[in-house]
Homo-oligomer: A and B are copies of this chain.
Amino acid sequence: MTRQVALPDGGTQVRAAGGQKLLDAAGQVRELLDAMVRLPVGTEVAEELGERMDGVLELLRGAVAEEREMVLDPFGERGEDYMDRSPVSGVLNPIAPPISMRMDGPNRVRTTTRLGLPYQGPPGRVHGGWVATLLDHLMGYAAGAVAQWIFTRSLTVDYDHAVPLFEQLELSAWVEEIDGRKIWVRGQIEAGGQVVAQARGLWVPPRESQPEQS
């Protein structure tokens, strides 16, 4: 059983819903994140930055939904909202780096990205946690082509070489084996034509979603 993965669309749905300006603002907040880690501690603009941020937060205060209200059902009527707010691939979540997913065969997903200073671990390298995050997210997508609703059960990442900042990363993930409720997935990151990190992991649907097998 395979199905089309509900890939993020780089903002198409958001635009259709009149969200172009919000999308643009999310891009500006990404720029702000990058600038924040490049400001010297003693920067003279800190005070004015604080005043301007006061204004931004004041503007948003009455416009945001309740925290609990935003815990969304990804397969409910606001499913696209949910995906758009993902910390890894959500166009509206400024934590998410620029990622454009695409299918690359059945149960196989590919994407590219390029990470900047906000994601730095060792000098000049992507933080090991973010290496795992990119892989977990992509592998979950590949597993999601098999079962609609699944959780990571176990993930192993092997860090073979440095994962560089500022350079294009090629990510791929594919379902390797399906054994009952168990979906085994593999993933990898390439940089400069070399595999720099590899992962394998196990995804399972919750028991209640497949009562016939529980």
Please measure, in the bound complex, the distance between the C-alpha atom of A26 and the C-alpha atom of B155, giving whole angstroms. Answer: 32
Shortest CB-to-CB span from A200 to chain B, Å, is 10
Task: Give the residues in chain B near A82, CB-CB below 8 Å.
Answer: 123
Using an 8 Å CB-CB cutoff, how does the interface string of A24-50 with B read, 1 for contact, 0 for none? 111011011101111111111111111
Task: Give the residues in chain B near A40, CB-CB below 8 Å.
Answer: 63, 65
Residue in B21, B57, B129, B136 whose beta carbon sits within 8 Å of that of A32 in the complex: B57
A65 touches B38 (CB 8 A): yes
B93 touches A37 (CB 8 A): yes
Q: How large is the interface on A (under 10, 10 to 19, 20 to 34, 35 or more residues)?
A: 35 or more
Please measure, in the bound complex, the distance between the C-alpha atom of A93 and the C-alpha atom of B84, giving whole angstroms. Answer: 22
| Given contacts A118-B95, A129-B132, A158-B154, A33 and B25 within 8 Å (CB-CB) | no
Shortest CB-to-CB span from A123 to chain B, Å, is 5
Please measure, in the bound complex, the distance between the C-alpha atom of A64 and the C-alpha atom of B67, giving whole angstroms. Answer: 33
Shortest CB-to-CB span from A70 to chain B, Å, is 5
A50 touches B73 (CB 8 A): no
**Does residue A92 face the partner (Cβ distance < 8 Å to B)?**
yes
B123 touches A74 (CB 8 A): yes
Which A residues lie at the B interface, using CB under 8 A? 14, 17-19, 21-22, 24-26, 28-29, 31-33, 35-50, 52-57, 59-60, 63-67, 70-74, 81-82, 84-88, 90, 92-95, 116-124, 127-130, 132-137, 140, 151-159, 165-166
A-B contact pairs, 29 of them (CB 8 A): A17-B41, A18-B41, A21-B47, A22-B39, A22-B41, A22-B49, A32-B56, A33-B93, A36-B93, A38-B66, A39-B64, A40-B65, A41-B84, A45-B60, A49-B59, A53-B56, A56-B56, A67-B117, A70-B117, A86-B120, A87-B130, A128-B136, A129-B134, A129-B135, A133-B133, A152-B157, A154-B156, A155-B157, A156-B157
